């Protein structure tokens, strides 16, 4: 073993250029893998986080657009019935017994927090112009538990909303469009035509234009007044779980229990999550291609080395080296190339990732980003080195086996 190691080392050192080229193949493969995986998973984590901040793990609401059996179906259930263009029944989006439901869900040990809210479409008046948006009536402290609102406040405090019954916390995008600041007043109009003047006590930024440009928070009682509804009028229940990956399993339970639609976050954000899957597929396919190319490079170089060393292999075998010893000599070479090449690749990958994470990037109105989000998770570095060494082992094995099987007599006879 020691002797094989020595011969392998001499072979590698006697052709430094060739060795370096073989190593660089692996280095670039792994380096690109690390940089790509870092950026892609960084983006994925970022979007997932955004998704989490904008939607609860489970959202219970009254889906009034849901298909319902037609009258004809009810009367003639066995026949073939065609009802053209059926419209939803006139219903309010009120959740019955919402507060009791909230207490029931709060007792579930899997649940971290529950917040009953009511939300409605409203118009924000900006002089003669009316901007479309939504207003959410919330218990701001409960809402904070679910979405960590406190960290997203750009001005004002959550407590100010509790203190001011006619207060409102507005998304930064919306505030900019309305040209208002904390302390200003804003006039809103409900679809029913009711008008109300509210005082802006703070602004928040979730990081998603979809939310920041349309949403404001107010107290539940205030929104009930605006909508001219009674005190039990609640339209939504937002639930946060201890383990968000259970959402898909728990949602149907709540749907059964409440009789209303319970939507989990994965369903609500399926477009976002499709993007994650596509990015993952891209990352891995490109990385694997890079590594396979590097593997072919090593295969080629080792094949060439072995071809050039036919005589050496023959004499080593004559002198008493077994096929296994010869295989060892060349396997050691490819593994050394793979290991050092991969290590250098991790280093280059780290520096590339670092450079990317410092590159300025404007997310625009849609998402608030000033730098690329990059993931430095050690897991991917471990995958990188394991994959790099494994590829070189496979690439080196075939030529090494050929060398070990070679018949020395044919070469020595000349």
Partner 1 sequence: MEQVLRTHKITKYFYDPEKFQVLKEIDLTVNRGEFLSLVGKSGCGKSTLMYVLSTMDTDYEGELEIAGERLTGKTQNELAKFRNEHIGFVFQFHYLLPEFTALQNVMIPALKLNKYSRSEVEDRAYEKLKMLGMQDYAKKPSNKLSGGQQQRVAIARGIINDPDIIMGDEPTGNLDSYNSNLVFDIFKELTHTYRQTIIAVTHDVEFARNSDRIVEMSDGKIISSTAATLAGT
Binding site for partner 1 (CB under 8 A): 2-3, 6-7, 10-11, 14, 311-312, 314-325, 408-409, 412-414
CB of 334 to partner 1, least distance (A): 18
Question: Which among 307, 304, 306 has a CA at the least distance from the CA of 329?
Answer: 306
* The token pair that represents 331 in the structure block: 């396997």
Q: Which is nearer to partner 1, 11 or 152 (CB)?
A: 11
Q: Which is nearer to partner 1, 2 or 107 (CB)?
A: 2
Q: Which is nearer to partner 1, 187 or 406 (CB)?
A: 406
CA 274 → CA 15, 57, 172, 277, 308, distances in Å? Answer: 49, 18, 28, 5, 51
CB of 374 to partner 1, least distance (A): 44
Answer yes or no: are the C-beta atoms of 222 and 165 closer than 8 Å.
yes
Instruction: Identify the bridge partners of residue 111 per DSSP, sorted by sequence position.
Output: 241
Answer yes or no: are the C-beta atoms of 46 and 373 closer than 8 Å.
yes
CB of 317 to partner 1, least distance (A): 7
Rounded CA separation 62/118 (Å): 11
Instruction: Identify the bridge partners of residue 219 per DSSP, sorted by sequence position.
Output: 138
CA 360 → CA 152, 198, 309, 372, distances in Å? Answer: 22, 38, 52, 7
CB of 292 to partner 1, least distance (A): 31
CB of 2 to partner 1, least distance (A): 8
CB of 406 to partner 1, least distance (A): 12
Rounded CA separation 172/213 (Å): 7
In a 10 Å sphere around its CB, with 0-12 CB exposed, 13-18 middle and 19+ buried, how is residue 143 labelled? buried
């Amino acid at each position: 073993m020691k002797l094989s190691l020595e011969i392998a080392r001499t072979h590698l050192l006697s052709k430094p250029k060739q060795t370096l080229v073989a190593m660089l193949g692996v280095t670039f493969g792994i380096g690109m893998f690390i940089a790509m995986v870092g950026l892609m998973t960084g983006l994925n984590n970022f979007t997932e986080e955004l998704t989490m901040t904008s939607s609860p793990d489970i959202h219970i609401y009254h889906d009034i657009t849901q298909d319902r059996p037609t009258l004809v179906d009810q009367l003639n259930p066995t026949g073939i019935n065609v009802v053209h263009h059926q419209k939803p029944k006139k219903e309010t989006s009120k959740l019955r017994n919402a507060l009791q439901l909230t207490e029931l869900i709060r007792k579930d040990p899997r649940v971290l927090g529950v917040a009953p809210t009511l939300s409605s479409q409203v118009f924000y008046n900006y002089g003669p112009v009316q901007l479309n948006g939504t207003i959410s009536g919330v218990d701001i402290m409960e809402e904070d538990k679910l979405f960590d609102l406190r960290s997203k406040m750009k001005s004002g405090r959550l407590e100010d909303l509790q203190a001011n019954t006619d207060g409102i916390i507005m998304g930064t995008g919306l505030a900019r469009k309305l040209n208002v600041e904390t302390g200003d007043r804003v006039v809103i109009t409900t679809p029913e035509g009711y008008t109300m003047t509210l005082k802006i006590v703070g602004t928040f930024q979730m990081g998603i234009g979809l939310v920041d440009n349309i949403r404001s928070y107010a107290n539940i009682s205030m929104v009930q007044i605006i909508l001219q509804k009674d005190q039990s009028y609640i339209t939504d229940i937002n639930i946060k779980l201890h383990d968000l990956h259970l959402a898909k399993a728990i949602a149907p339970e709540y749907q059964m229990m409440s009789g209303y639609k319970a939507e989990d976050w994965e369903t609500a954000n399926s477009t976002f999550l499709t993007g994650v899957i596509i990015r993952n597929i891209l990352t891995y396919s490109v990385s694997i291609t890079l590594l396979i190319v590097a593997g072919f490079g090593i295969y080629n170089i080792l094949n060439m080395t072995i071809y050039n060393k036919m005589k050496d292999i023959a004499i080593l075998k004559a002198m008493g080296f077994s096929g296994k010893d010869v295989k060892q000599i060349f396997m050691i070479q490819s593994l050394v190339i793979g290991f050092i090449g991969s290590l250098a690749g991790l280093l280059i990958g780290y520096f590339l990732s670092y450079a990317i994470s410092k590159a300025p990037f404007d997310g625009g109105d849609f998402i608030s980003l000033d730098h690329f989000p990059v993931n430095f998770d050690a897991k991917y570095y471990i995958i990188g080195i394991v994959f790099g060494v494994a590829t070189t082992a496979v690439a080196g094995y075939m030529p090494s086996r050929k060398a070990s099987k070679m018949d020395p007599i044919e070469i020595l006879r000349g």
